[in-house]
Amino acid sequence: MWLELELVLIILLGIIILGNNRLGTMIQLFALQSFILSTTPLLIHPGKHAVVMAVVTIILKVLLMPWLLFWAIRHASIRREVQPLVGYGKTLILGGFLMGAAFLISAKLDLPVQETSNLLVPTAFSLVMIGFLLLVSRFKAITQVIGYLVMENGIFLFAILLLEKTPLLVEMGILLDIFVGTLVMGIIVNHINQEFRSASTLNLTNLRD
C-alpha cells in the first residue's frame, strides 16, 4: 500500500515536471521525486544494503545535484523554457500515451525476479519515457539535463528490483557516474551560455571551421 502510494506520487511528479516551464520548480520537483524514490529500497528490501543506498541517494540526488543545477541556472541566468519544440499540452498528451505504452510493455515482460508490486516496473518504464520525452522536446540544455536525470530515476527504480543481487559497489559506481555526468553537464551549460549568450542547444548544430 505505502509502496504503491509512493510509486503513484513518483509518476505524478514526473507528469508535473513534464508540464512545467519554470526551471527552478522543475529542479525542486526532481529533488522531491528523488527523495521519495530514495525511500523505496527501504520498503522493498529492508536491510543494511537499502539504508546505505537511501542515504547515498539522498546526499547525491536530493542535495548535491539540485544544488549544482541551481548553480548552473543562476550563472547562466535562465529561468524558464521559452520555446519548447513541442507545446506543453502536446507534450503532456504524448507523455500520457508513452505511459500507456510503458504499462502495456511491462505487462508483457517476464522478469526473472519476484516483483514486490506490479506497479514497480510500469512506473520505472514511465519515468524512462518521460525522461526521454523531456530530452527530445526541449531546447534548453538544463531541461535536457533534468530529462536525463528523470530517466535515470526510472533506471534506478528498475534496479531496485535487483537490489539483493547486485553488489553495493556497482550501485555506488552508477551513482557516481550520474553525479559526474551532471557536474560536467552543469559546466557545459555554463560554457554554452558564455559562448552563445543563450543556453539553447540549437546553437550547437551550427558548423564552424
Partner 1 sequence: MLPVLLHISVVMILSPLLLGIIGKTKAFFAGRWGPPLLQPYYDIVKLFRKGNVYSTTTTWIFQAAPIISLATVLISAVLIPMGSFKAPLSFWGDIILFAGLYGLARFFLVIAALDTGSSFEGMGASREATFSCLAEVVLFLDFIILALLSKKFVLSEMLEANILSSWPLFGPVLLLVGASYFLVLLTENSRIPIDDPATHLELTMIHEVMVLDHSGWDLAYILYAGAMKLFVLGGLFLNILIPSHGLSPMAQTISFWGGMIVLAVGLGAVESCMARLRLNRIPQLLIGAFVLALVGLLIILVKGV
Binds partner 1 by CB under 8 A, chosen from 32, 86, 92, 187:
92
Which is closer to partner 1, CB of 117 or CB of 203?
117
Q: How far is the CB of 187 from partner 1 (least distance, A)?
A: 33
Q: Please name every residue paired with 140 in a beta bridge, in sequence order, or none if there are none.
A: 200
Q: Are 107 and 49 in contact (CB under 8 A)?
A: no
Cell of 66: 539540485
What distance in Å separates the CA atoms of residue 64 and residue 27, rounded to the nearest whole number? Answer: 12
Q: How far is the CB of 45 from partner 1 (least distance, A)?
A: 21
Which amino acid appears at position 195 of this protein?
E
Write the CB contacts of 153 (distance below 8 Å, at least 6 apart in sequence). Answer: 10, 30, 33, 34, 37, 61, 127, 131
Binds partner 1 by CB under 8 A, chosen from 22, 55, 67, 100:
100
3-state SS class at 1? coil
Site for partner 1 in 108-137 (CB under 8 A): 118-119, 122, 126
Q: Are 80 and 40 in contact (CB under 8 A)?
A: no
What distance in Å separates the CA atoms of residue 99 and residue 154, rounded to the nearest whole number? Answer: 12
Q: How far is the CB of 15 from partner 1 (least distance, A)?
A: 5
Site for partner 1 in 13-42 (CB under 8 A): 15-16, 19
Which region among 1-9, 24-32, 150-158, 196-204 touches partner 1 (by CB under 8 A)? 1-9
107 is a contact residue toward partner 1 (CB under 8 A): yes
- Contacts with partner 1: how many residues (CB under 8 A)? 25
Q: Are 11 and 126 in contact (CB under 8 A)?
A: yes
Binds partner 1 by CB under 8 A, chosen from 88, 139, 179, 196:
88
Q: How far is the CB of 197 from partner 1 (least distance, A)?
A: 27
Which is closer to partner 1, CB of 72 or CB of 161?
161
Of 111, 104, 100, 189, the residue nearest 143 (C-alpha): 189
Binds partner 1 by CB under 8 A, chosen from 46, 47, 96, 173:
96
Q: Are 134 and 153 in contact (CB under 8 A)?
A: no
Residues at the contact surface with partner 1, assessed by CB under 8 A = 1, 4-5, 7-8, 11-12, 15-16, 19, 88-89, 92-93, 95-96, 99-100, 103, 106-107, 118-119, 122, 126
